Amino acid sequence: MSLQQLNSLSSPLSQQQIDSLKQLTASMSAVELSWVSGYLAGISQGGAVAPVADVPAGKLTVMYGSQTGNSKGVAGEVAEQAKAMGINVELVSMGNYKAKQLKNESHLLIVVSTNGEGEPPDDAIQLHEFLASKRAPKLDGLKYSVLGLGDSSYEFFCQTAIDFDERLAALGAQSVLERKDCDVDYEEDAAAWAAGALSIVQETLTAAAPVAAASAPAFGSGKSQYTKKNPYKATLLANPKITARSANKDVRHIEISLEDSGITYQPGDALGVWFDNDPKLVSDLLTLLNIDAAATVDVGGETLTIEQALIENYELTQLHPGFISAYGEAANISELVKLSEDKDATRAYITQRQVIDVVRDYPAAISTEQLVAALRKLTPRLYSIASAMSEVEEEVHLTVAVVEYDAHGHAHQGAASSFLAHRLQEDSQVRVFVEHNDNFRLPAQDKSAIMIGPGTGIAPFRAFLQERDNTEASGENWLFFGNQHFTDDFLYQVELQDFKERGVLNRIDLAFSRDQEEKVYVQHRIVEQGKDIFQWLENGASLYICGDANYMAKDVHQALVDVISEYGNKTIEEANEYLINLRDSKRYQKDVY
């Protein structure tokens, strides 16, 4: 509440007190105001507050840029640790941070992930651009450190973290701890970075009194006791195939019970799924390496058989460059070691290969210890949730395409998708957790939504439509959906037709690419309907894209640029700026993978 608002209410303060308070706070920075707020809150609760002269106004800001929730989770843990150490801390998403506030910061810890080809996550784009612009201020008084989360399988590993680190340094900020770039198995490295960074912060920033310490805000919707590290053992209710027998893809509708878990989620959130590797794949790999399945190995201080360790703890289907060099050195294979020194050649080699393919290409005998040292720890897979709790209550639904392909003379399957579709039986347990995604949210009830989701990208929009149906939202809904064949791949056809007939779905445009000689995709339908799309946007509609990041999302973005340019009478640069403004106002959101 502002002091102006305070004047208009019945206040216990006299006019003189209000005038004095105005005068006192008029010249304060946001940091100072934050401290005063905590100080006064402490007094009002009867806490023992140290004299003002003994309590500094310093604050640590922990900032995250996160696409899938990992950076957000790490940043939350860092903020909690800081709070426990008595440090006055604020946890904030880059998407909710006013960039000009940077000049008022004294201590900043950044946790940020990287997307695709070195791009920042959606909530970090605006701050990333601000720091690279001429508007960025000098930051001589800022002490900072950066933690990057990424995947070394990609060429631009942790590029966004590198960008933030280099730009802050160029603006005069002082790095108090060297940037740490973490791979997918990031927990230990992140914990070490946090311990080192917080120790330095504590030395250079005297802790505020406990009553003034800012609590880390609650995350997203319904913070649960069940997390990535402590998943809930849910029950699989059903996993029917929802594509035709003749379809090229096996797509499953997965239904999971969350009964009595207390877990809540919102449309737009994702479900993290832990899985076991295929026992036959593990057996074949051990046979090729001439390793006894009963041989034991230490995993995090626990002794397991190598067979159990490979089934439950290590990645076998997502091959990464580090395995090439580690296996080559362990097996003394000079050709692999040489290959690993050429990053481009390594990336080309690992395309469509799994761990077992490398061993097939270069058979050798190595120890159990050498094998697990070469592998990455298994990580859960995230799936866009395809249901709304207002519709399914204590259930959660997913739309999962089973990864299956032939390559290098052998059949291959994705680990998590084949686990859900083929190896997990109904009524069996699966370990899950919700990953909240505040960057993919429905607009206000009276605002319209344009949803673009070909293939399994339909998942969150099924949730959107269920939610808008049950809450009787007045905003209109327009869906663009595409797949290969109308008869084989029209996912949720009956449900979508029902939404259309009842007026929940106001418009639907379909693109089945293989049903005619010339391939037609959703981006072609967007161009065809360009005039109406632009009018919807001008009337306040929000844009949503879900699906493939490498091709579809880029093609759709370009189609939108063309549409806005043509019907908005804008140059291509102005059309791009139009979309940037939509993005910055949370009206252009993506859930791409």
Mean pLDDT taken over the chain: 88
Distance CA 166, CA 175 (A): 10
Average pLDDT over residues 239-252: 96
Question: Within a domain: residue 205?
Answer: yes
Q: Assign 212 a pLDDT band (cuts: 50, 70, 90).
A: very low
DSSP letters of 26-42?
A: TT--HHHHHHHHHHHHH
DSSP reduced 3-state for 406: strand
| Other Cβ atoms within 10 Å of 585 Cβ, number | 9
Q: pLDDT above 70 covers what percent of the chain?
A: 87
Distance CA 256, CA 239 (A): 9
* Shared domain check, 154 and 117: yes
Q: Which of 356, 373, 390 is the last residue of a domain?
A: 373
Distance CA 79, CA 60 (A): 9
pLDDT score of 484 more than 80? yes
Query: The CATH number of the domain where 409 resides is what?
Result: 2.40.30.10
Q: Assign 19 a pLDDT band (cuts: 50, 70, 90).
A: low
Please, are residues 278 and 310 in contact by the beta-carbon 8 Å criterion?
A: no
Q: Assign 581 a pLDDT band (cuts: 50, 70, 90).
A: very high
pLDDT score of 426 more than 90? yes
pLDDT of residue 456: 98
Question: Within a domain: residue 442?
Answer: no
Distance CA 147, CA 180 (A): 5
Question: Looking at per-residue confidence, does 126 or 543 come out higher?
Answer: 543
Question: Looking at per-residue confidence, does 27 or 588 come out higher?
Answer: 588
* Shared domain check, 393 and 258: yes
Beta bridge partners of 450: 478, 543
Q: Closest Cα partner for 492 from 445, 339, 504, 91?
A: 504
Q: Assign 172 a pLDDT band (cuts: 50, 70, 90).
A: very high
Query: The CATH number of the domain where 120 resides is what?
Result: 3.40.50.360
CA distances from 191 to 147, 197, 325, 468 (A): 10, 10, 26, 41
Torsion of CA 452, 442, 530, 523, to 10 degrees: -10
* Shared domain check, 160 and 98: yes
pLDDT tens digits, one per residue of 343-390: 999 999 999 999 999 999 999 999 999 999 999 999 999 999 999 999
pLDDT of residue 41: 43
pLDDT of residue 575: 97
* Shared domain check, 578 and 518: yes
Tokens of 66: 């996160």
Question: Within a domain: residue 367?
Answer: yes
Query: The CATH number of the domain where 483 resides is what?
Result: 3.40.50.80
Q: Assign 20 a pLDDT band (cuts: 50, 70, 90).
A: low
* Shared domain check, 559 and 480: yes
Tell me the residue range of the domain where 563 lies. Answer: 449-592
Q: Closest Cα partner for 353 from 330, 308, 307, 321?
A: 321
Question: Within a domain: residue 440?
Answer: no
Question: Within a domain: residue 226?
Answer: no
Distance CA 486, CA 491 (A): 9
Distance CA 499, CA 506 (A): 8
Distance CA 78, CA 186 (A): 14
pLDDT score of 209 more than 60? no
Most trustworthy range by pLDDT among 152-161, 215-224, 495-504: 495-504
pLDDT of residue 15: 58
* Shared domain check, 463 and 402: no
**How many residues does the structure list for the chain?**
593
Q: How many CA atoms lie within 13 A of 279 on its CB side?
A: 6
* Shared domain check, 262 and 177: no
Please, are residues 521 and 515 in contact by the beta-carbon 8 Å criterion?
A: no
Q: Assign 96 a pLDDT band (cuts: 50, 70, 90).
A: confident
| Other Cβ atoms within 10 Å of 162 Cβ, number | 19
pLDDT score of 268 more than 50? yes
pTM above 0.85, yes or no: no
Q: Which of 323, 355, 373 is the last residue of a domain?
A: 373
Average pLDDT over residues 526-534: 98
pLDDT score of 587 more than 60? yes
Most trustworthy range by pLDDT among 89-98, 198-207, 466-475: 466-475
* Shared domain check, 271 and 161: no
Question: Within a domain: residue 85?
Answer: yes
pLDDT of residue 46: 41
pLDDT of residue 208: 38
Distance CA 411, CA 428 (A): 26
Instruction: Show Cβ contacts of residue 351 under 8 Å, excluding neighbours closer than 6 positions.
Output: none
Q: Assign 40 a pLDDT band (cuts: 50, 70, 90).
A: low
Q: Which of 373, 398, 427 is the last residue of a domain?
A: 373
The b/e string for 24-51 (b: 16+ C-beta within 10 A; e otherwise) is eeeeeeebeebbbebbeebeeeeeebee
* Shared domain check, 423 and 392: yes
Q: Assign 217 a pLDDT band (cuts: 50, 70, 90).
A: very low
Between helix 321-330 and helix 343-350 the angle, nearest 10°, is 100
pLDDT score of 405 more than 70? yes
Tokens of 168: 């802050």
* Shared domain check, 369 and 384: no
pLDDT of residue 122: 85
* Shared domain check, 260 and 346: no
Question: Within a domain: residue 348?
Answer: yes
Distance CA 163, CA 19 (A): 45
Q: Assign 17 a pLDDT band (cuts: 50, 70, 90).
A: low
Question: Within a domain: residue 495?
Answer: yes
Average pLDDT over residues 581-585: 93
Residue labelled with tokens 């344009």: 450
Tokens of 12: 């216990």
Q: How many domains does the chain have?
A: 5
pLDDT tens digits, one per residue of 48-73: 333 333 333 479 999 999 887 889 99
Residue labelled with tokens 């057996």: 283
CA distances from 108 to 52, 60, 89, 92, 376 (A): 24, 6, 10, 11, 30
Lowest mean pLDDT among 2-6, 62-66, 162-166, 345-349: 2-6
Torsion of CA 503, 505, 506, 510, to 10 degrees: -140
Please, are residues 154 and 320 in contact by the beta-carbon 8 Å criterion?
A: no
Instruction: Show Cβ contacts of residue 342 under 8 Å, excluding neighbours closer than 6 positions.
Output: none
Is 288 exposed, middle or buried, given 0-12, 13-18 or 19+ CB atoms closer than 10 A?
middle
* Shared domain check, 391 and 257: yes
Task: State the SS3 of 348-382.
Answer: HHHCCCCHHHHHHHCCCCCCHHHHHHHCCECCCEE
Beta bridge partners of 477: 449
